[in-house]
Every structure is written in C-alpha cells, then in structure tokens.
A and B are shown apart, each in its own frame.
Chain A
Amino acid sequence: MAWNPTFKINLLDVLDSSYDSEEVKDKLREFVVETEFKQLFGQRVVDEIVNRTRDQNIDKNGKSLGTYSKTYRDSLIFGIYKGADKSVNLTLTGSMLESLNPKLGKYVITIQLEGEENRGKAQGHITGILGKFGRAKPRDFLGLPSGELRSMFKSSMKDYRAGAFSEILV
C-alpha cells in the first residue's frame, strides 16, 4: 500500500505568522474557522501547487523540477502523451495533480490526493523511489514556501471579508 503524502496547514499558525498586530489576529481568528473561508483558502493552495508544478515547473521550495531522463523521454508513452513537450511538470495523464483536494478540519487544512494510484505516483515523485529498484530525481511538489502561504492566506482573508469568494461554488 502506498504511503499517503499530505501537506498539512495549521491555520492558527499561519494566522499568527501572517500578521504582527495582536489586535488584528484576534479580530481574524473567528473567520479562520468558517467553512467557506477554509474552502476558499484550501482550494487556492491546491490551485497554486498545481500551477507551480504544471506551469512553472518548480517544487515546493521554488527549485526547478529538473529534466526527465533520456530513457523516459524516449519512451513510447512519453511520446504519446507529451510529444515535443519536454517540460518537467509531473503531468502525463494529469490524474495525479487533478486529484489534489483540501480536506477541512477545524483548525487544519490537509492537502491530499484522491485514489491509491495517485498517492503512489506522488510518493514516487516525492521520494524519487520508483518501484523496488527504480530511482529518479526526488521532486517534492506537495507544499508551498511559508512566505507564499502567508501571502495567500492574507489575500484569501481579504477577499473573503470583502465577499469575493464565489469561486468556492465552482
């Protein structure tokens, strides 16, 4: 059975590190536990992880995802799914990245993958261990730098309080 890779976000910790003023933190604490805010923020985190991986080709620390091995680039499956596209974006069929979703707890949002197969793929990318003997460059895409997370938290809070959160209905 595959390991279950996740990215856990403690909302109170993010709130605490995102603002200096205790007054502001106290004021915002009540919004943090609201389901709609958590949906908004959690979904934005997922979208950003997908965007960084698929479009920017960088890992959770902002480092390049590198290049694919020549053997993989020359494989039939690579030719069919990627053609001339040599970008390293952890996307062949797209199922792994599109299976990311936020699970909402009271104070914690857990970004997780749906399906055993997708969890297995993510495990392979994160650890660089493919099956029993295969090795690849580890590409840990599941996360965001703390600065990015804080910035996203603040913009989500601002939009949420301004009523600009219709995207949660999508």
Chain B
Amino acid sequence: MARDISHLESDLKKFIASTITREMELEFAELVAQTIYKRTKSGKGLTINKVSWGDNSLKEIKPLSPEYVSYRSRKILGPFASPRRSNLTFTGELLESIIARIKGDSAIVEIQDIQHSSGVKMKELAEHVSENGRPFFGLADSEVKIVENYIRRKIRERIRFLNK
C-alpha cells in the first residue's frame, strides 16, 4: 500500500510556500552573497560571464600580469589579498559591496549602487572585471546544489516546527 498524495500536492505546495518567512528568504539570499564573496576571495571565479543561478562552473580567477603584481606589492590590499593571487581584492571594496536584501516580494543579491574609491561606480567595476576575463557574480552548478539543499533542509525544519 502506498499513499497517493497527488490530489493534495497543489495544496501542500501552497502550504510549504506559506511556511517561508521573510527572515528565511533573507537568510537564503545572504548565503548566496556569502558564497560569492568567499569563493572569490579564495581565488575562484566562474567560467562564463553570466549572472545566473547555475549553468556555470568554478574556475581559478585569471592570473595577474607581472606588472600588476609588482604594483600591488607596493600597495595596501584588501582583506585576504596578496600581491600575486588574483581574487578581485585590491582595496576589497568591490566584494564588500555585495549585499542581500528584501525587495518587494523577493530577496535579492546585488552589488550596491555606490562609488568605488577610484570614482567608478561599483556596478560598472563589476561589469568591467567580469567582461575582462574574471567573471564572479553568479553561482556555479556545484554551488547551486549546496544552496538548494541548505534551503530545502531549512524549509523541512520549519515545517516540522509548525507541525509540532
């Protein structure tokens, strides 16, 4: 004997969606933001310049030119940066500008609409580094799996809590 729940599926899915709070949405978006931030700091970017939920793979960020390494070695760099390692952290401002927030009915992850200390808009800077061989703003397939499984687990926990 098996339980046929197909006729209830639509209602159950509505119930499941209703269990997700704004705080949870924000937590999930923050997880995505942190995933991009930490992965990029560790020196890994994406293969394709595409702001996407998956359809991408992880790749070491394109190495820096010897001239730029030399320049960086004379400057104060951002957190977790080193002159030789490419991790988009010259001053650290670009990655620090990634935020998660609630907008309307959704939680979003974005690069803040502020200016970099160089005077360039942060979003333009992100576009520039992405278009010039260092895409980073998106999730790789492997990261999507981690985030999705985390979200599923948190929703199951919530359902169990509400069913108690």
| Residues of A that sit less than 8 Å from B by CB | 30, 34-36, 43, 47, 50, 76-77, 79-81, 93-95, 98-99, 114, 159, 164, 166-167, 169-170
Contacts and interface: CB of A to CB of B under 8 A. Distances in A.
Contacts, number: 60
Contacts of A80: 38, 41-42, 80
A11 to B, nearest CB: 15
B118 to A, nearest CB: 24
Given A164-B163, A167-B160, A169-B16, 19 more contacts: A34-B2, A34-B3, A35-B2, A36-B3, A36-B5, A47-B153, A47-B157, A79-B80, A80-B42, A80-B80, A93-B146, A95-B146, A98-B145, A98-B150, A166-B16, A166-B163, A167-B156, A167-B159, A169-B13
B25 to A, nearest CB: 15
A167 B156 CA distance: 5
B1 interface: yes
A35 B39 CA distance: 38
Q: Interface residues of B toward A: which range?
A: 20 to 34
A81 B38 contact: yes
Nearest to A93: B146
- In order of increasing CB-CB distance, the 7 nearest A-B pairs are A98-B149, A167-B156, A167-B159, A98-B146, A166-B12, A164-B163, A80-B41
A98 B150 CA distance: 6
Nearest to B42: A80
A77 B38 CA distance: 9
Interface in B46-97: 80
B146 A170 contact: no
B21 interface: no
A146 B146 CA distance: 28
Given A36-B2, A47-B153, A159 B163 contact: yes
Kindly name the residue among B41, B42, B149, B163 whose own CB sees the greatest number of chain A CB atoms within 10 A: B149
Contacts of A94: 146, 150
Interface centre among B39, B145, B156 (most CB of A within 10 A): B156
A47 B42 CA distance: 28
Contacts of A99: 145-146, 149
B42 A170 contact: no
A90 B84 CA distance: 29
Nearest to B82: A76
B5 to A, nearest CB: 7
B159 A166 contact: yes
A36 B15 CA distance: 18
A79 B78 CA distance: 13
A156 B117 CA distance: 56
Interface in B112-145: 142, 145
